[in-house]
Structure 1
Amino acid sequence: MPRIKDLRAYLDALAELGDVRTVDRLVDPHLEVGAIIRRSYETCAPAPLFTNIKGTAPGYRLLGAPGALSSAPGKPLARIALSLGLSADSTAREIIDALAAARTREQIQPVLVDTAPCKQNILLGDEATLDRFPTPLLHEGDGGAYVNTWGTIVARTPDGSFTNWSIARIMMIDGKHMTGLVLHPQHIAQVWQQWADLGEPMPFALVQGGEPALPFISGMPLPNGVEEGGYLGALLGEPLELVQCETVDLQVPASAEIVIEGHLSVERSGVEGPMGEFSGYQPHETSMQPVYTIEAITHRDDPIWPTVVEGEPVDEFHTATGLTLAAEALTQLRAAGLPITTAWEPFEGASHVLVVSVAADWRTALPGVSTGELTQRVNDVIVALRFENLVPRIFVLDDDVDASNVGELMWALATRVHPTGRRIVRTGVILPLLACYTPEQRHTATGDKVTYDALLPAAGKGREPRSSFRFLFPAEVQQQVLENWPN
């Protein structure tokens, strides 16, 4: 299908599906906006587009739940699929396959253009302030207004050899300053560290809006040295257009709604957090993080600021980070020569679970290999990846189970995972935001992780047939039933 190139075209596509709802009444950015967005996730409602926000300049808008599950009947993944250049009725498997396939294609590098709509308004010096934009307090108890929840941070190493597009939460300190998480081993932390080692602040650009695929790929755990811009070109089949920033030597997607430019401090002098998080809880602790100083803001007329309100599943952390992590896992497992059908992070698992689905004929592809040996090989591939700290639980399953069907997956895990055996336990670095660990483990960023061998025995060697309509009854009986009892 034709690629959707900017946020406004994306909203038009959602409108055709009845999957966006304009909120014209006056709304309070202090919690009310956040509560409406959270409610929209939990009821699978259309994405709310706020046009009248208290304290915000006239015409400035805010879009909630831009990449969440869709309200369109029969198309629950429509927002995700449309964002990634796929049809609205794409399945989970089709989306993962598209992301993984693009990783094997040659990258298509972005191209620079002279100007773009995001240059319609250029604010410099004292005018470059967040005060006129929607800056909502999203959760009760947040440390401040989180102004970046779905935007892309653009940064480049001091020697210019690597440009990173990433996504991380950023909290407003005042109209000219922000602070946000800069955590190793994320690429933004690696780039910042190189600047900090030189004693120089890191130039940055923060992009709000733009290509709807941009936030998904900005959260994808690509390997070291792989740039998001080139990968996006391979995914979408054509180069992205970039435009030069005003005050820093960086280029940003020309499709942006808003671009914030400046420098990120060498010192960790900003008190950041807490914020309601993807695990479904709100951590109580704060941390010291670098400070973003704003030097310029450019934006389109009547700009739209996309916003995510993280919490219990399903929201954009689960649909974006979880989905792209699974796609990268699939890419690396296949590259290792393993017969893997797909990989999936169940949205309802709050990005705490990765399911690896093994092809039905895997014993033919790997003669003499036991289920335990195959599980060990899967484990060894994942452990070597940069995002291994994000994966506390891996389940290796036969591909007769659709891991994106939460009911089917729960049944399979309950009946195929041994209570105490057939598992590989490892200890290593963890993301402290993972809620399954003790406070002590989260403070030290070290904890146990486990990979479960949930593979069934071979046919004729102890495997019992599934007792369901699809698996137990002859095809002709199924067809007769479907013709007469379609529901």
Structure 2
Amino acid sequence: MAGGNPLDLRAWLAKMEESGNLQGIRGAHWRFELGAISELNVKREGHSALLFDEIPDYPAGYRVLTCTTSSPYRLASILRGPLTNDHHELVRWLRGKPKAWESQAKAFDPVAVETGPVFEHVDAGDAVDVLKFPAPLWHEADGGRYIGTGCAVVTKDYDSDWINVGTYRVMVHDANHVGLDMVSGKHGHIQYQKYMAAGKPFPVCIVIGADPLCYLISGIEVPYGICEFNYIGAVLGEPVQVVRGELTGLPFPAAAEIVLEGWIHPGDTRLEGPFGEFHGYYQAGAKPAPVVTVERVYHRRNPIIVGSPPAKPPNDYSYSKAVMRSALLLDALEAAGVPGVTSVWAHEIGGARMLTVASIQQRYAGHARQCGHILSQCGVGAYMGRYTIVVDDDIDPSNLSEVMWAVATRSDPERDIDIIRNAMGSKNDPMSVAYTSKAMYSSRAIIDACRPFDHLQDFPPVAEASPELREEVRRRWSSILPL
């Protein structure tokens, strides 16, 4: 039923199937198997997105989609960029794009339409049953079934017209109640607090399935006061088509797969969690979180849940975070006036935050240290940082084997590791259990793994074939060597 709506998930899936980027799986169980299969899949080279069907206990056609953003080709397609299998090419294309999209967002107000595929089924009253959908129990230690992972939560400011769309995890409590975990300080939580202070119910619409661009953008740091639907419109180059909920009047994509609409009533909380975090740990146990009383369920025929569960990296969404953050870090280094930066990579294994690497063409004494300190402490890189490494431009910063070779052979622990103390910390840091300060401080290590600038001419040469020879040999022996 793909139509002309640019946020129609099914149109995107058709493109992925045609390009060999979608694999169907039948019969996997919602209890653990969907999560484990997705977790193992994302660690394979050249893996596809997974579309699960014929899930036990559920009608055929009630599906779950995972691994949407975990390859350069699929992520480029989602961002409407040039299709590529090279993540460095994708990062280069992305440079400057977030700022441009942000500045253009005001010109792309969403357009309200009367109806859309999401209204093919409308459940109200006693017919509301969130568990009619195959919400997965993703991992063995999870506190419940999470229907919302690759989701987009639509809320409205109490004292303005600002609509916010954020990605917050959603745990199923029962047929018409779900837990909504909004981290303190996030825009949705700020809006929630205003309603609670006024003693008013907080209106919520939870988009459980749509084009992955929807949850990708709702999961990044869009500035306060800007609606993510506007930002998505800037990415698309055309306004998002939205319909409005029957109860709250909140907008959501007309081609959404599943939408839960309801209210968080003042004081209504239940234990939520535990659930994994982006860094691969269960950071906290069960804790009280707001509860949405679901009063309407809208869904398409044969609906699709978009899942993106956290796990030990690489996980379902760690690649997209690595690409987006790498582009932002490159922009930050350029804005700070650091020359000669050839590439940056925010490694998935560090949740795209705790291990970042930059490669530079050294131009002056202190260049590598300058780059490392700015990369570590700029606005994009400061939160939950840990290790920052600077390497020469013959090293691919995304190749951990090459990076650690540079660390092992081009750095000396005493002279080439700088420590920053009392940097920005976080309660979400798994090492916070070892912090002794009440304030959330943590340290940073900056490793200069470049050849010493005053020994560039006499540093031992690398024992390997030249790029020209490698290319010639690959061309001649293409039958046994990959191009």
TM-score range, shorter chain: 0.7 to 0.9
Partner of 2:395: 401
Distance 1:23 1:10 in 2: 18
Alignment of 1:113-192 (within 5 A): 113-114=112-113, 115-192=115-192
**1:448 pairs with 2:442:** yes
Distance 1:197 1:98 in 2: 44
Q: Answer whether contact 1:20 1:48 (CA < 8 A) is retained.
A: yes
Cα distance change of structure 1 residues 218 and 398 upon mapping to structure 2, 3 Å threshold:
farther
Equivalent residue letter for 1:427: N
Cα distance change of structure 1 residues 151 and 232 upon mapping to structure 2, 3 Å threshold:
same
Equivalent residue letter for 1:163: I
Which one is further off, 94-103 or 369-378? Answer: 369-378
**1:102 pairs with 2:103:** no
Partner of 1:72: none
Distance 2:361 2:55 in 1: 54
Q: Secondary structure at the match of 2:191?
A: helix
Partner of 1:345: 346
1:399-433 Cα offsets, whole Å, 9 max, x none, are: 44322223223323444454355324232553434
Partner of 1:22: 24
1:323-361 Cα offsets, whole Å, 9 max, x none, are: 333333333443333334443221233434342525426
Distance 2:258 2:203 in 1: 17
Cα distance change of structure 1 residues 267 and 465 upon mapping to structure 2, 3 Å threshold:
farther
Cα distance change of structure 1 residues 416 and 6 upon mapping to structure 2, 3 Å threshold:
farther
Distance 1:118 1:417 in 2: 57
Q: Secondary structure at the match of 2:195?
A: helix
Aligned alpha-carbon RMSD (Å): 3.1
Distance 1:416 1:269 in 2: 54
* Aligned with 1:46 (options 27, 48, 56): 48
Q: Answer whether contact 1:433 1:442 (CA < 8 A) is retained.
A: no
* Aligned with 1:439 (options 416, 433, 444): 433
Cα distance change of structure 1 residues 9 and 453 upon mapping to structure 2, 3 Å threshold:
same
Q: Answer whether contact 2:156 2:191 (CA < 8 A) is retained.
A: yes
Distance 2:235 2:219 in 1: 15
Cα distance change of structure 1 residues 262 and 393 upon mapping to structure 2, 3 Å threshold:
farther
Partner of 1:220: 220
Which one is further off, 262-271 or 440-449? Answer: 440-449
Partner of 2:476: 484
Distance 1:95 1:3 in 2: 25
Cα distance change of structure 1 residues 480 and 144 upon mapping to structure 2, 3 Å threshold:
closer
Cα distance change of structure 1 residues 221 and 455 upon mapping to structure 2, 3 Å threshold:
farther
Q: Answer whether contact 1:262 1:293 (CA < 8 A) is retained.
A: yes
Give the TM-score normalised by structure 2.
0.85
Deviation of 1:169 after TM superposition, in Å, equals: 1.6
Deviation of 1:305 after TM superposition, in Å, equals: 0.6
Deviation of 1:253 after TM superposition, in Å, equals: 2.2
Q: Secondary structure at the match of 1:107?
A: helix
Equivalent residue letter for 2:8: D
What percent of counterpart residues are identical? 28
Q: Secondary structure at the match of 1:291?
A: strand
Alignment of 1:77-476 (within 5 A): 77-105=72-100, 106-108=103-105, 109-114=108-113, 115-267=115-267, 269-283=269-283, 285-339=285-339, 340-357=341-358, 359-360=360-361, 363=364, 370-382=367-379, 388-416=382-410, 418-420=412-414, 421-435=416-430, 437-441=431-435, 446-454=440-448, 456=450, 461-462=455-456, 464=459, 467=462, 469=464, 473=466, 475=468
Deviation of 1:226 after TM superposition, in Å, equals: 4.2
Deviation of 1:466 after TM superposition, in Å, equals: 5.6
Deviation of 1:478 after TM superposition, in Å, equals: 4.8
Deviation of 1:453 after TM superposition, in Å, equals: 4.3
Q: Answer whether contact 1:209 1:255 (CA < 8 A) is retained.
A: no
Cα distance change of structure 1 residues 399 and 123 upon mapping to structure 2, 3 Å threshold:
farther
Q: Secondary structure at the match of 1:22?
A: strand
Cα distance change of structure 1 residues 126 and 332 upon mapping to structure 2, 3 Å threshold:
farther
Partner of 1:7: 9
Distance 1:343 1:223 in 2: 23
1:356-388 Cα offsets, whole Å, 9 max, x none, are: 52542664xxxx765434433444423xx5x74
* Aligned with 2:61 (options 51, 56, 59): 59
Equivalent residue letter for 2:385: V
1:108-160 Cα offsets, whole Å, 9 max, x none, are: 42331312211211222332320211122111121100111101112222123
1:74-108 Cα offsets, whole Å, 9 max, x none, are: xxx22222222234424222322333322232324
1:25-61 Cα offsets, whole Å, 9 max, x none, are: 3x43222322322232234543332221223245321
Q: Secondary structure at the match of 1:123?
A: strand
Distance 1:4 1:461 in 2: 55
Q: Answer whether contact 2:91 2:327 (CA < 8 A) is retained.
A: yes
Which one is further off, 241-250 or 441-450? Answer: 441-450
Distance 1:407 1:83 in 2: 29
Cα distance change of structure 1 residues 107 and 14 upon mapping to structure 2, 3 Å threshold:
same
Structure 1 unaligned residues grouped into runs of 5+: 70-76
Give the TM-score normalised by structure 1.
0.85
Cα distance change of structure 1 residues 155 and 430 upon mapping to structure 2, 3 Å threshold:
farther
Cα distance change of structure 1 residues 96 and 235 upon mapping to structure 2, 3 Å threshold:
farther
Distance 1:443 1:138 in 2: 35
Deviation of 1:274 after TM superposition, in Å, equals: 1.0
Q: Secondary structure at the match of 1:8?
A: helix
Q: Answer whether contact 2:391 2:449 (CA < 8 A) is retained.
A: yes
Deviation of 1:480 after TM superposition, in Å, equals: 4.4
Distance 1:192 1:170 in 2: 15
Aligned residues: 467
Q: Secondary structure at the match of 1:389?
A: coil
1:185-230 Cα offsets, whole Å, 9 max, x none, are: 3222222223233232322211122222222222212343444333
Cα distance change of structure 1 residues 163 and 90 upon mapping to structure 2, 3 Å threshold:
farther
Distance 2:91 2:10 in 1: 25
Q: Answer whether contact 1:151 1:206 (CA < 8 A) is retained.
A: yes
Equivalent residue letter for 1:481: V
Deviation of 1:299 after TM superposition, in Å, equals: 1.2
1:436-476 Cα offsets, whole Å, 9 max, x none, are: x0524499672413141426357664463661546xx384x
Distance 1:56 1:426 in 2: 53
Q: Secondary structure at the match of 1:98?
A: helix
Q: Secondary structure at the match of 1:390?
A: coil
Equivalent residue letter for 1:381: C
